[in-house]
Amino acid sequence: MSYFSDIYQGIKTLLTGMSVTGKYFVNSRKGAITQQYPDNRDTLKMFERFRGEVIMPHTEDNEHRCTGCQKCEIACPNGTIEIIWDRGIDEETGKKKKKIDQFVYHLSMCTMCGLCIDVCPTDAIKWGQNFENSVYDRSALTRVLNKPGSKLMAGVED
Amino acid sequence: METEVVHTNFKSEEYFINMGPQHPATHGVLRLLLTIDGEIIKKVEPDLGYIHRSIEKMCERDSYQQIVHLTDRMDYLSANINNEAVCLAVENALQLEIPDRVQVIRTIIGELTRIASHCLWWGVMGMDVGALTTYFYGFRDREMINDIMEETCGARLTMNYNVPGGLMHDIHPNFVKRVKDFVAHFKTKLPEYDRLLTENIIFKKRMIGVGILSKEDAISFGASGPVGRASGYSCDVRIHHPYSAIDKVTFNEALRTEGDTYARYLVRIQEMWESLSIIEQLIDVIPEGEHRVVTNAVIKLPKGEYYQKVETARGELGVYIISTGTKNPYRLKFRSPGFSNLSLLNHIAVGGKIGDLVATMATLDLVIPDIDR
Amino acid sequence: MIQLRITEHIHNWLSGMMSEGAVSIVEMVLIAIVYLTVFAIAGLFLVLLERRVAAWFQLRIGPNRVGFQGLLQTMADAIKLLTKELTGTEKADKFLYNLAPYFVIISALMALAVIPFTKEFHAFDINIGIFFLIAISSIGVIGILLGGWSSNNKFAMIGAMRSGVQTISYELSVGLSLLTMVVITGTLQLSEIIEFQKNGWLIVQGHIPAIIAFMVFMISGTAETNRAPFDMVEAESELGAGFHTEYSGMKFAYFFLAEFINMFIISAIAATIFFGGWLSPFGITESIPELGVFWFLAKTMVLVFLMMWFRWTFPRLRVDQLLTLEWKYLLPINLVNIVLMAVLVWLNLTIRL
């Protein structure tokens, strides 16, 4: 007798399975979760905390907030950040002060862990949301984050 | 006088197949050397090391905050739980008092990660056995969890959200609402998974009675997680050695006694239900408070040895730190669950057919970077 | 009745130009070209349909970029396959290796020739139609076995052996379920079977045994063509790719197309024998028999969709479970069914509309 109950059970469970996929087929027009990527760039919005790449925001007067304290360079696990700095005379107090020449960021080595942004005392670097970073030439992945001719914003101390 | 060389471990009617490092059924780069007679498997020998990245050696050079981002990449499907393990080890060694808010959020995110890992496991399980649409259904549900993680932590797979001392930044205001929506949505999907795959007669015939693991073997091989629980070995770290906010919730341990692949499958499905109930108990009562305890910029653990166990989606992950008082650990060792689970493959696959081997490996739920580190 | 009389016009035009013998040879060549075109277009269309239907089951959109709604996608794939290098193993048996794909193509084409698309569009209307179909589908097995053996590759040979066993076992079920319907009609000729169904489709006339025969036919037909859930032999997550591991480029395209055409043929046979072929339901468009092509294709496409639904829902059966299903379940059910149908016809219990 288990022969027949086997057949009956088999057919019943197979039809139940087919009904699940059938339901998705019928609702396929509004159920499709594909995003047609290169065509929807205008409406694509990433979440605000998304980790795309590290950027240094500048104001309209070309000023940034990086004092060259090198805390991010120490916090980075694999040497992605290199800060080239020198000591110059500060105009107000007349003492020697560190200022940065170039903030070199190797995008090819960055693991997007966020420790540099976490530890920066002046909020100089932030997460950018651009994720389309492919290039044809590897040297384009070594970026200098501070724009040429920019200087430290007044009043920022670390 | 000539001596005849007698090959004892390879008979003449057997042949030798290499299920190579690149293969759709071994989840990751795993090389299996199979000795087969017709359709019956005689011996399985795994060959590891294709994705060894010397994570443990790198941990000897990095500071404790930097070690956390390396653990993301070991068992990448339960990345948050791995981070939690290292953070808990460091916090217990420093005897830091972690606020309740941090503990509750860590538990919620850990359970969400467990559901995401099991969703992917279910999708890939169906795909290995031949039902190719289950892959997409599992991933669709996982996408909702990935969106939650991306909004709060910033990344979908390698989150790096836990730091020693708490969380890197506070949860997003939309977090609670999104998690509640997800729980409501997923509760309608799990019965659908059952209708599509669990009750299916073809699926049952392929899984029942295949790859049986007895309780004594599970204990002696060190199987943990769902693999051990399907054989009757109660090994849930969350029940025996609770951590974070687990002791504030009540849930059942998913135990079965048969030990075959169908039992391992059912244990994981039940674990998903239990995780949903844990999240429901905690999501409405997140206490207010700090999200981070400030530690020194340079963390130095006092001299000694420290061990912390957590329950990842695969099993028991252990973090063992030997510190000599400096800012890097002297030695850090991970007890990975996949390594012990893989060692029983030879024991349970011998005597079965090749199709059974694929089904068994799918239920062991191995992630090879976890084994090779 | 509106009759277009295309074949008569062409015949008269050709006889005006050359002698009798040459006319028949030219007509045969023309018919062969038409059928090859049908074969190619059906193959290309079915591949695209499979991909889009699979996508709709899986909550995504299929190929829709190349051409309008993706209609040129398979053309692009075919051009890519044409430009691929034809690799071959060194110690492979060259003659058999090159011969194997042609066996499956030829058996698929010959089966296509016997199927009635509509009243006039029927290439080869012999009086042993069904018998011829069952015999021709057995020739396809040779192609599979030759392909596996001559590749000189042990995975390919294992795959070919398994596939051969599977095909030979399920041919029995296919043949017996078709014989069940012959018991009602009393004739093997396909056009007569369709004439017989003017009193109602055969699945309605022979109610219970016909439904059981249809279910058995669909299951065995799916297994004949090595489609899921019976595709253990060419499953991607098993070892290698089965018997066509060593084929690349155009030869691989032959095996691949032949699988889809076989699926079309099984559905076409089921539509002809169980569901009335090119007849319209309740005789709606009886006056325009040329619309029969449309009805026939609609019925065949519904059955093709059913086979695709099977593929994307169920897990695979293991090889020994396949054979258990056939020999212990399908074959006894088939034999009992034939007796049941014979009793039904003898007692005149068939439904006539």
Residues A19, A58: one domain?
A: no
Residues B245 and C240: their CA atoms lie apart, in Å, by 48
DSSP letter assigned to residue A54: E
Confidence of residue B6 (pLDDT cuts 50, 70, 90): low
The stretches in chain C having pLDDT less than 50 are: 1-2, 237
CB B178 within 8 A of CB B148: yes
**Could you count the other beta carbons within 10 Å of the beta carbon of residue A50?**
18
Distance CA B367, CA C10 (A): 67
Q: What is the pLDDT of residue C58?
A: 87
pTM of the model: 0.89
Question: Reduced to 3 states, what is the DSSP secondary structure of residue A28?
Answer: helix
CA distances from B367 to B188, B278, B338 (A): 28, 25, 7
Which amino acid does the sequence have at C292?
G
A131 and chain C in contact, CB less than 8 A: no
Is B36 part of any domain?
A: no
C-beta atoms of B153 and A49 within 8 A:
yes
Is the confidence at residue B20, as pLDDT, over 80?
Answer: no
How far away is chain B from the Cα of C321, in angstroms, using its nearest Cα? 8
Cβ neighbourhood burial of B56 (10 Å; 0-12, 13-18, 19+): middle
Q: How far is B298 from chain C (nearest CA, A)?
A: 49
Angle between helices C20-57 and C250-275 (to 10 degrees): 90
Number of domains within chain A:
2
What residue in B sits closest to A110 (Cα-Cα)?
A: B69
Q: C264 near C47, Cβ under 8 Å? A: no
Q: How many domains is chain C partitioned into structurally? A: 2
Residues C231 and C301 placed together within one structural domain of the fold: yes
Query: Which tens digits make up the pLDDT trace of A84-106?
Result: 888 777 666 667 777 788 889 99
Q: Are residues C261 and C322 in the same domain?
A: yes
On whether both C48 and C117 belong to a single domain, the answer is no
List, for residues C88-120, the tens digit of each pLDDT value: 667 767 788 888 888 888 888 888 888 888 877
Q: Which domain holds residue B76?
A: 52-372
Give me the residues paired with residue A9 across strands: none
User: What are the tokens at B206?
Assistant: 């392929």
Cα(C237)–Cα(B342) distance, integer angstroms: 19
What is the DSSP secondary-structure string of C224-258? HTT-TTS-GGG-TTSSTTGGGTT--THHHHHHHHH
Encode pLDDT of A94-152 as tens digits.
Answer: 677 777 888 899 998 888 888 999 888 888 888 988 888 888 998 888 988 888 877 77
User: What is the spatial distance between Cα A129 and Cα A126, in angstroms, rounded to a whole number?
Assistant: 10
Which range, of B13-27, B141-155, B323-337, averages the lowest pLDDT? B13-27
Query: What CA–CA distances, in Å, run from C80 to A83, A98, B256, C252?
Result: 50, 61, 52, 12
Asked whether residue A40 is domain-assigned, the answer is no
Element (H, E) at C143: helix C140-150
Chain B residues lying within 8 Å of C316, measured CB to CB: 129-130, 202, 206, 355
Contact state of A18 with C56 under an 8 Å Cβ cutoff: no
Q: Could you give the angle at which helices B79-94 and B100-129 cross, rounded to 10 degrees?
A: 150
A68 and A128 housed in the same domain: yes
Asked if the structure places residue B17 within a domain, the reply is no
HSE-up of residue B142 (Cα within 13 Å, Cβ side): 22
C122 neighbors C52 (Cβ within 8 angstroms): no
Produce one character per residue of A77-86: b if its CB has 16 or more CB atoms within 10 Å, e if not.
bbebbebebe
Is some CB atom of chain A closer than 8 A to the CB atom of B324? Answer: no
Question: What pLDDT does residue C241 have?
Answer: 56
Q: What angle do CA C115, C15, C120 make, to 5 degrees?
A: 20
pLDDT for C77 equals: 85
User: Is residue A117 a part of any domain in this protein?
Assistant: yes
Task: Tell whether A108 is covered by a domain.
Answer: yes
Q: How far apart are CA C73 and CA B68, in angstroms?
A: 47
Q: Is 60 exceeded by the pLDDT of residue B7?
A: no
Q: What was the pLDDT predicted at C240?
A: 54
Residue A57: inside a domain: yes
Give the max Cα distance, chain B: 87
Contacts of C61 in chain A (CB under 8 A): 32, 34, 36
Tell me, yes or no, whether A102 and A139 share the same domain: yes
Q: Which of B122, B249, B250, B119 is nearest to B186 (CA)?
A: B119
> Quick check: is A41 in a domain?
no
At C1 the pLDDT is 42
Is C233 within 8 Å of chain B by CB?
no
Whether B196 has its CB under 8 Å from any CB of chain C: the answer is: yes
Same domain, A82 and A23: no
Q: Report residue B329: phi and psi, to 5°.
A: -70, 150
Residue B131 in contact with partner chain C when CB distance is under 8 A: yes
**Would you list which residues of chain A are within 8 Å, Cβ to Cβ, of chain B?**
9-10, 13-14, 16-17, 19-21, 33, 47, 49-51, 71, 75, 77, 111-115, 118-119, 127
The residue of B87, B174, B196, B200 whose CB has the most chain A CBs within 10 angstroms, and thus the best one to mutate to test that interface, is B196
**Collapsed DSSP state (helix, strand, coil) of residue A94:** coil
Q: Quick one: C46 and C70 in the same domain? A: yes
Query: Is position C198 within any domain?
Result: yes
| Alpha-carbon gap: A59 to the closest alpha carbon of chain B (Å) | 25
- Determine the angle formed by the axes of helices B100-129 and B354-364, rounding to 10 degrees: 170
Residue C327 DSSP code: I
Within this chain, do residues C254 and C320 fall inside the same structural domain, yes or no? yes
What's the CA angle centered on B130, arms B21 and B276, to 5 degrees? 95
- Domain assignment present for residue C335? The answer is yes
Mean pLDDT of chain A: 84
C100 membership: H or E segment, kind and range: helix C94-113
In a domain, B61, yes or no: yes
Same domain, A27 and A58: no
Q: Which of residues 10-29 of C touch A (CB under 8 A)?
A: none
| C-alpha closest to that of C169 among C13, C305, C317 | C317
Residue A156 domain flag? no
- The sign of the dihedral angle between the CA atoms of A52, A56, A59, A61 is negative
In chain B, which residues have their Cβ closer than 8 Å to the Cβ of A45?
A: none
- The answer to whether residues B77 and B120 touch, using CB atoms and an 8 Å cutoff, is yes
Closest CA to B71 of B182, B137, B162, B148: B162
- Does C7 lie at the interface with B, CB-CB under 8 angstroms? no
Radius of gyration of chain B from its Cα atoms, rounded to whole angstroms: 22
Q: Is residue C352 part of a domain?
A: no
Q: Do A145 and A72 belong together in one domain?
A: yes
CA distance C59 to chain A (A): 4
In chain A, positions 2-21, which contact chain C (CB-CB < 8 Å)? 7, 14, 17-18, 20-21
Could you tell me if residue C203 is inside a domain? yes
Q: Which domain holds residue A19?
A: 2-33
The verdict on residue B20 lying in a domain is no
> Structural domain tally of chain B?
1
Half-sphere exposure of C273 (CA within 13 A, CB side): 31
Q: Tell me whether residue B15 is in a domain.
A: no
C156 in a structural domain: yes
Domain boundary among C52, C83, C114: C83
Residue C219 makes CB contacts below 8 A (sequence gap 6+) with C173, C330
Same domain, yes or no, for C107 and C49? no
Q: A116 with A79: CB under 8 angstroms?
A: no
CATH code (residue A131): 3.30.70.3270
Is the same domain home to C289 and C144? yes
Across the A:C interface, residue pairs with CB atoms under 8 Å apart total: 35
Q: Which helix (H) or strand (E) holds C35?
A: helix C20-57
Q: Are C208 and C339 within 8 A, CB to CB?
A: no
Number of residues assigned to chain C: 353
CATH of the domain at B72: 1.10.645.10
Cβ of C313 within 8 Å of Cβ of B196? The answer is: yes
Round to whole Å and give the CA distance between B366 and B338: 6
Contact partners of B by the rule of 3+ C-beta pairs under 8 A?
Answer: A, C
Task: Tell me the C-alpha to C-alpha distance, in Å, between residue B254 and each of B35, B242, B245, B270.
Answer: 35, 16, 19, 6
The parent domain of residue C316 ranges over 89-346
Of C25, C55, C83, which residue sits at a domain end? Answer: C83
ipTM more than 0.90? no
What pLDDT is attached to residue B87? 92
Pick the closest to residue C169 from C288, C329, C281 (CA basis).
C329
